[in-house]
Structure 1
């Protein structure tokens, strides 16, 4: 079952392991292999099916859905944003500027600012009056009240805390501490040291071996699954693919060539000959019909008059001008 060669560090670690680890390892690995092998084979089969579905179904479907989603949601919203919301926002911004911002700035500058200055001046006067009352009246009264509170309440309370409450509290805390330590802490430490730590070590060894066995079984199951997959692929190839290929190559291809050479090509040649004969017949029929129509028109209306050929060239001018000849109306002889 050991498919991978252990390294030097692993060999030294195995030599230093105890008998409990060695006794737990083999049965745990056998059980893990029996449990993991079907799961790994099912997992590999699902991976293959998932890849086929991804390449043949899900990826084209995802592209189509992406294009459809873009056409139904993205492009309309882009057009709405570009041609409706942006111009509307600009118009609303312009209206907000001239209907709200500009009047608000004017109101703040010419109305609220002078009112604020007046209110600040009144507030400074009130603050000066309150400061005088605080300094001349409330401060001496507060000092006297503080002196009375200190010597009537604070000093007796501090003496009571220092000489009565603090010693009593220390004695109560010491009693509670030792009672809690004897009743709870010492038994809990004994249970932890003599029960939970050994049990935890055993469970840690078992858990480590189970984890290692599961990993080892998963790797072995992978090798077995690949071998089974290759065997099934080879079996499918020799049972189905190779016979189909042989039938196609040795039977269907010669039959197809024979059918092509003996049936299809003569049929195509015959069809082309029939087409050429049909086109020639139709051409002869059209010529006959045209000649018959011309003869009928000639018997009813006579021979058509021949058209006089008209020269389409520009009229030739007179000779060229010389010094002894004039072509104007005033100087013509």
Structure 2
């Protein structure tokens, strides 16, 4: 009983109509259904998450590809077949029906109508008598027992089963919602445990141990080694440069000792001729023919 309910207030008509059966079944059914539904709801949530992942990254792209393939293999050829073969054939059949078969059928009906009317009257007269007899036989043998069975057996049993099914459905709904809360709580607890058991220790080890050790190794070992390597590289480069210069000088000394000093080329006068030796407009001599 809730805190705000009045014990002397009469129950509403819906509660009085439910009866003792509903009150006796409701709480045990909800407890049993809750116990059974919690694992199912948790498994359902896990499967739903997995299914969404598979659908987004697996089934949906494959389905779109298959849809495009089926469209290209079936829909386009069938559309072409309908447009260029079946539609013209259908129009031709409609024309034949309207222009040929319908007039022929009308002509045949004008010939056979009196015979058909006579046969229909005979069949209607005989069928009415037979139908009336069969109606009363079926009413006495089938309808009245069926009505009695429905009124006195099936309807009460159906109402009882409806009450039980309604309570089971309500219990399943409550249990499903409670199982959802339980599943989410379990997921949060597992996530917290995973973070505190694995993520936080790894983060602490990285921040407290590995980072200082890495800094020490960098400052004590790696940086001096790098400096030494750079110094060795510079010394090696200078030694190689000195060796190349020494080899070049030695090669030049050997060449001078064997072949002597190379003869320097005589300088060539590349200056322009002076003003007196150049050709002018008023003189017929040039710098080449003046002598």
TM-score (norm 1): 0.57
The 3 A distance-change label for structure 1 pair 14 and 45 is farther
In structure 2, distance between residues paired with 1:311 and 1:204: 128
The answer to whether structure 1 residue 171 and structure 2 residue 126 are counterparts is no
Question: Is 2:33 aligned against 1:32?
Answer: yes
Q: Pick one of 187, 198, 202 that aligns with 1:244.
A: 202
Partner of 2:18: 18
Q: Partners of 2:166 and 2:268 in 1: how far apart?
A: 115
**Aligned-pair Cα RMSD in Å:** 4.1
Aligned to 2:246: 288
Tell me how far apart the structure 2 counterparts of residues 269 and 282 of structure 1 sit (CA, whole Å).
20
Query: In 1, Cα distance between the equivalents of 2:170 and 2:17?
Result: 14
- Corresponding position: 1:234 with 2:201: no
1:45-124 matched pairs, under 5 angstroms: 45-48=46-49, 58=57
Match of 1:210 among 127, 148, 168: 168
Question: Taking structure 1 as reference, are residues 251 and 12 closer, same or farther at Cα in structure 2, changes over 3 Å only?
Answer: farther
**Structure 1 pair 222–308 and aligned structure 2 pair: CA distance change class (3 A):** farther
Q: 1:175 to 1:47 in 2, by over 3 A?
A: closer
1:146-182 superposed Cα distances (whole Å, 9 cap, x missing partner): 8xx99xx96xx94x986x8765543332211101111
- Are the structure 2 counterparts of residues 165 and 251 from structure 1 closer, same or farther at C-alpha, using a change threshold of 3 Å? closer
**1-structure distance, mates of 2:283, 2:155:** 139
Name the CA distance, whole Å, in 2 between partners of 1:51 and 1:172: 64
The answer to whether residue 281 in structure 2 is matched with residue 326 in structure 1 is: yes
Tell me the TM-score normalised to structure 2 length: 0.64
For residues 59-117 of structure 1, give each alpha carbon's deviation from its aligned partner in whole angstroms, at most 9, with x where no partner exists. Answer: 6x998x99xx9xxxx9xxxxxxxxxxxxxxxxxxxxxxxxxxxxxxxxxxxxxxxxxxx
Aligned to 1:90: none
The offset of 1:209, in angstroms, is: 2.1
Provide closer, same or farther for how the CA distance between residues 257 and 280 of structure 1 changes in structure 2, counting only shifts above 3 A: same
Structure 1 residues 167 and 297: CA distance shift in structure 2, 3 A: closer
Summarize deviations over 1:287-312 as a string: whole Å, max 9, x none.
11111111112222221222455677
> Unaligned stretches of 5+ in structure 2?
1-10, 70-110
Q: Secondary structure at the match of 1:18?
A: helix
* Distance 1:207-1:165 versus aligned 2 partners, 3 A rule: closer
> Closer, same or farther in 2 for the Cα pair 1:188/1:281, shift >3 Å?
same
The CA deviation at 1:193 is: 2.1
Unmatched 5+ stretches in structure 1: 1-10, 75-145, 320-324
Instruction: Between the two structures, name the one with larger relative contact order (CA 8 Å, sep ≥ 6).
Output: 1
C-alpha displacement of 1:221: 0.7
State the match for 2:90 in structure 1. none
Deviations 1:182-225 (A, max 9, x none): 10111112212222222222222222222222221111111111
Shift of 1:269: 0.6
How many correspondences in the alignment?
228
In structure 1, what is the equivalent of residue 257 of structure 2?
Answer: 299
Cα distance, 1:317 vs structure 2: 8.4
Closer, same or farther: CA 308–54 of 1 in aligned 2, 3 Å: farther
